[in-house]
Amino acid sequence: MEWEIVMGLEVHTELATKTKIFCGCSTAFGGEPNTHVCEICSGMPGTLPLLNRRVVEYAVRTGLATNCNITRKNKFDRKNYFYPDLPKAYQISQLYLPICRNGFIEVKAADGGTKKIGIHEIHMEEDAGKLVHDEFSDCTLVDYNRCGVPLLEIVSEPDFREASEVVDYLEKLRAILQFTGVSDCKMQEGSLRADVNLSVRPKGQAEFGTRTEMKNLNSFRAIARAIEYESRRQIDILEDGGKVVQETRRWDDTRGVSYAMRSKEDAQDYKYFPEPDLPPIEISDAFIEKVKAEMPELPEAKKRRYIEELGLPEYDTSILTSDLAFVRLFEATEKLCQSPKDAANWIMGEVMKLLNDSGTLPEDMTLSPEKLAAVINMVKAGKINRGTGKTVLEKVFSQDVDPETYVKENNLAQITDLSALRPVLEEVIAANEKSVSEYKGGKTQAMGYIMGQAMRALKGKAPAQEVQKLLHEMLDS
Amino acid sequence: MEIIEMGALALGSAIRRREIGVREAAESYLDAIEARDGDLHCYNTVCRDEALERADEVQKGIDAGVYTSPLAGVPVGIKDNICTKGVKTTCSSKILSNFVPTYDATVVQKLHDAGLVTLGKLNMDEFAMGSTTETSFTGATHNPWDVSRVPGGSSGGAAAAVAARLAPVTLGSDTGGSIRQPASFCGVSGLKPTYGAVSRYGLVAYASSLDQIGPLGHDAADCAALFAEIEGKDKMDGTSMENPKFDFEAATAGTLRGKTIGLPADYFGEGLSSEVRAAVEAAAKTCEELGAKVETFPMPIVKYAVPAYYIIACAEACSNLSRYDGIKYGYRSEHAENLMETYVKTRSEGFGMEVKRRIMLGNFVLSSGYYDAYYNKALKAKKLIQQSFFEAFEKYDMLLGPVAPTTAPKMGESLSDPLKMYLGDIYTVMINIAGVPSMALPCGFDKAGLPVGMQFIGKPFCEAEILSAAAAFQQATDFHKQSPQQD
């Protein structure tokens, strides 16, 4: 039987606001435990939440960028459950009136075309703290630093049929969140987390199968693997005549398996009800217009501009706009070196290779546009050749050296004065009598060897064309 | 006159005239507390040393012209559910019996800034749940008029302290009558402000959409003076609002002439004791004599008030009280082996019966499958109640009615029959649901010599109007001047 996989995503993203959603504490990642904490975010008796307006602005920005309708009268609700990382024993969230609804993101479909993935809703909520198990004293400690960091939960419709669609959606969504300045989307710091709801059904069947929800997916690669594993697991169960159990499963990326965390029967009753401590938030036309006017350029718009104004091929624009770090590097470098195509080529070629080889994430890259442009400009001006350029860039990348100083100190600049070549070539000719006489005897292939010896003597710092021309001049006469 | 008999404004005035020192005033009260509070148990915590130290500071401030409030130098008692930095705030619960806040509630900060001197923290029903102050973990407060009777609740300590002259003014909180009902039982005056008129920041929440902090005092003018210090929008409380209408002069002017007063017929129906009815009807006559136009009108929604109130209040309470889990502060069971046991045992051992009852009720009405039948229906009732007040206020400037169906019951009578106790809230809870202000004041005595209270219910943010009406009534009567016989 042919099976179809049906998936929906719940994405949590931490917002890049400076302060928490309901108090003035810092949202900075890291920090000594319980140092970004006050009476409010630690849930002390008598305290009240105070809404950070910037969170509403970011939520509206995200909604507009994903083609959503914006809810004009917003309310918060309480989601009640006990856990030590949740000091109030309820999370302030939005159930009844989420701030954004009915949007979509366009993704690459498996058949090569495009496909709209519906966004069911986006709502605002607060993050919980973190439990740290201390092996040494065998006790669990709580760090409330993350408590109250603003989150958006972005819930898709069950529109995905292929893992590749899921990954493309997440890449698009991440780019939107980064480009709008809403989130830095660092998966390894937990500022972008995705849960996958997955079911399978015989191809052609209208109703959905029983779904499971997978958590703890910490990278795009883990997501793709978990989807493969879970769809296989469900198909195997069904093909053996069994039934899929509705449950929440945890992905173990090291072992490459998922296991059940809790079934539907253990599902908590969160007893949602309207949050009485926060007055409703009215979103006016003027506010939406203001957010629209201040909206940073989104990936699609950037692509169009790169094609139309900078003359880049579409392929380049897709790669460059896949991450805000590339965009920032490209736009600044392009201006400094006055050559969009050179900037694009260097980023797509050398920079990405260096990132890959060193396992560095784009957002952690320290390479400055000034230094990249300096390398490009030196190559363009013929001051160094492309190969030397790559070597210099590698040093810049790994040790943040100054490219011009590095070239100078290591004597890497091209020999531009042709008269300086002649004495070196004379030495080469003298030292390779055998090859020279072979060449002169009509064995033209010998020139290749002489050329190689010449370039080695020149340490590659002379333009090969000029060297060859001069050799011919000296030997052919 | 003895210092402790003076009342807050008179004492403040004497302090400003340098006739009485701030330390002298504080000492008088602290000595009275030491002498009498052993029997009455109004206070959970008395801050003698801090109060005297603060009194000296405030005296210097007054002498230097820093403190200019009419209440500068006046002592004040604070209900034990209002956070005081460095001073235990227990909500009269075992679960918070060791809790010392790291911050001051906004109202406490405001009183500090105005130069008032905190005497201590006042007993209450546990987490403000109760109508008698008997659910307190620290033991019941006794009614100063008859120590075998309850002072009312939940602000029983706050009301009894004013009646027994153990504080000139106090801060209480009112979620369903918790200022007005004990004020009524103890023969003192108390104001439940409009929802949002006073910041709730630092008030340990019972039912967030209904809770309000308010003043209790000898008379309406003292309440007006204390209210003037605490009211106003607070950036720490998103539900608080500016009240441009409030004006202390107007609030103490004493005006009933030309006012139209509605008497809700359903406030005078079955269940109301004849003595309370007689006293409130006589008071309505007095209002007429003072130039008000009084008229009875139907308000049938009254019968839905108690069930709607207990559903909304308990729903919010079960969520608000979930944070007392033994993890971060407060009581933690010593018998727990794991996380679930920590929760279950801490909460089983830490909360009293009435609190547990309301937590369970709240969880029930919010449970999936019951939410629409209870909580949503209660919200609809809330809308209708608000609507009927709105309609009443299109016809009347204010409403007048009894505060409670009876005078103070004997100790022990109420807890055995919680349903009866809940029904005793019938005249007060509606006001919280509607969010309107209400001023409770004494209007007579029953045959046993126990005070009877009535309430002027006002339009939103019209505290000045009802305070002024109460002041007019008090200028013409002397019920509020009576104080319990001391042994």
Burial grade of A420 (CB within 10 A; 0-12, 13-18, 19 or more): exposed
Minimal C-alpha gap between B124 and chain A (Å) = 16
Residues 6 or more apart whose Cβ sits within 8 Å of residue B71:
B8, B9, B12, B114, B115, B116, B169, B225, B226, B229
| Burial profile A94-132: b = 16 or more Cβ within 10 angstroms, e = fewer | bbebbbbbebbbebbbeeeeebebebbbbbbbbbbbeee
Q: Tell me the pLDDT band of B115, cut-offs 50, 70 and 90.
A: very high
Residues 6 or more apart whose Cβ sits within 8 Å of residue A409:
none
| Burial profile A35-52: b = 16 or more Cβ within 10 angstroms, e = fewer | ebbbbbbbbbbbbbbbbb
The pair of three-digit structure tokens given for residue B42, joined into one six-digit string: 């109004």
Enumerate domains of chain B plus CATH numbers.
3-262+395-481 (3.90.1300.10)
The pair of three-digit structure tokens given for residue A318, joined into one six-digit string: 């897709």
How far is residue B465 CA from its own chain's centroid? 19
Nearest to B203 among A46, A49, A273 (CB): A46
- Characterise B461 by phi-psi region: left (phi > 0), alpha (psi -120 to 50), beta (else): left
The pair of three-digit structure tokens given for residue B87, joined into one six-digit string: 């001073």
The DSSP code for A36 is: S
Q: Which residues of B touch A51 (CB under 8 A)?
A: 238
pLDDT surpassing 60 at residue B487: no
Burial grade of B196 (CB within 10 A; 0-12, 13-18, 19 or more): buried
CB–CB of A301/A309 below 8 Å?
no
Q: Report pLDDT for A261.
A: 86
From the list B178, B199, B240, B414, the catalytic residue is: B178
CB–CB of A351/A377 below 8 Å?
no
Which neighbouring-strand residues pair with B43?
B122
Q: How far is CA A264 from CA A244, A248, A249, B439, B451, in A?
A: 12, 8, 11, 51, 57
CA B151 – CA B147 distance, rounded (Å): 9
The DSSP code for A196 is: E
Q: pTM for the complete prediction?
A: 0.90
The chain A residues in contact with chain B (CB within 8 A) are: 39, 42-51, 78, 80, 82, 84, 87-90, 142, 269, 271-273, 276-279
Q: How far is CA B243 from CA A50, B191, B228, in A?
A: 20, 15, 11
Q: Report pLDDT for A137.
A: 84
Nearest to A90 among B101, B237, B322 (CB): B322
The DSSP code for B236 is: T
CA B216 – CA B190 distance, rounded (Å): 4
Q: Where are the alpha helices (DSSP H) in A192-313?
A: 220-239, 285-293, 299-310
pLDDT tens series, chain A, 477 aa: 899 999 999 999 999 999 999 999 999 988 999 999 999 999 999 999 999 999 999 999 999 999 999 999 999 999 999 999 999 999 999 999 999 999 999 999 878 899 999 999 999 999 999 999 888 888 899 999 999 999 999 999 999 999 999 999 999 999 999 999 999 888 777 788 999 999 999 999 999 999 999 998 988 899 999 999 999 999 999 999 999 999 999 999 999 999 998 776 677 899 999 999 999 999 999 999 999 999 999 998 999 999 999 999 999 999 999 889 999 999 999 999 999 999 999 999 999 999 999 999 888 899 999 999 999 999 988 888 888 899 999 999 999 999 999 988 887 887 777 788 888 888 888 888 888 888 888 888 888 899 888 888 887 778 788 888 888 888 886
CB–CB of B78/B216 below 8 Å?
no
The pair of three-digit structure tokens given for residue A218, joined into one six-digit string: 């910490």
Say whether A326 sits in a helix, a strand or coil: helix
Burial grade of B250 (CB within 10 A; 0-12, 13-18, 19 or more): middle
Q: Considering Cα of A173, then A176, then A177, then A179, what sign does the dihedral take?
A: positive
The pair of three-digit structure tokens given for residue A472, joined into one six-digit string: 């011919």
The answer to whether B319 contacts A39, with C-beta atoms less than 8 Å apart, is no
Residues 6 or more apart whose Cβ sits within 8 Å of residue A113:
none
Q: Report pLDDT for B486.
A: 63
From the list B28, B93, B154, B388, the catalytic residue is: B154
Q: Concatenated DSSP letters for B180-218?
A: HHHHHHHT-EEEEPPTTSB--TTBPPSSTTT-EEEEEES
CB–CB of B350/B270 below 8 Å?
no
The pair of three-digit structure tokens given for residue A25, joined into one six-digit string: 């504490």
The answer to whether B327 contacts A279, with C-beta atoms less than 8 Å apart, is no
CA A411 – CA A414 distance, rounded (Å): 9
- What confidence tens digit (pLDDT) does each residue in B462-477 have? 999 999 999 999 999 9
For tokens 């609809």, the residue is B380
CA B158 – CA B106 distance, rounded (Å): 18
CA A193 – CA A186 distance, rounded (Å): 9
Size of interface A-B (CB pairs under 8 A): 96
Minimal C-alpha gap between B44 and chain A (Å) = 18
Q: Which residue has the higher pLDDT, B270 or B410?
A: B410
Restricting to B residues 85-124, those with a Cβ less than 8 Å away from any Cβ of A are: 89, 91, 96, 99, 101-103, 105
Q: Concatenated DSSP letters for A109-140?
A: -TTSSEEEEEEEEEEEEE---EEEEETTTTEE
Per DSSP, which regions of A370-456 are E strands? none
How far is residue A16 CA from its own chain's centroid? 15
Of chain B, the end-to-end C-alpha distance in Å amounts to 19
The DSSP code for A351 is: I
Q: Where are the alpha helices (DSSP H) in A265-313?
A: 285-293, 299-310
Q: Where are the domains of chain A?
A: 3-286, 297-409, 418-476
Question: Phi, psi (5° rounding) for residue A60?
Answer: -65, -40
Of chain A, the end-to-end C-alpha distance in Å amounts to 79
DSSP H or E run through B297: strand B293-297
The pair of three-digit structure tokens given for residue B262, joined into one six-digit string: 């509605």
**pLDDT (mean) for B137-157:** 98
Q: Report pLDDT for B253.
A: 95
State yes or no: is B285 an active-site residue: no
Amino acid at A291: V
Q: Report pLDDT for A265.
A: 66
The domain made up of A418-476 has a fold known as: Arc Repressor Mutant, subunit A (1.10.10)
Q: Which residues of B touch A90 (CB under 8 A)?
A: 319, 322
pLDDT surpassing 80 at residue B369: yes
Which neighbouring-strand residues pair with A117?
A105
Question: Phi, psi (5° rounding) for residue A107?
Answer: -125, 165
Minimal C-alpha gap between B372 and chain A (Å) = 11
The pair of three-digit structure tokens given for residue A268, joined into one six-digit string: 């908590």
State yes or no: is B333 an active-site residue: no
Q: Which residues of B touch A142 (CB under 8 A)?
A: 327
Nearest to B208 among A84, A87, A276 (CB): A276
Q: Report pLDDT for B357.
A: 96
Burial grade of B49 (CB within 10 A; 0-12, 13-18, 19 or more): exposed
The answer to whether A279 contacts B239, with C-beta atoms less than 8 Å apart, is yes
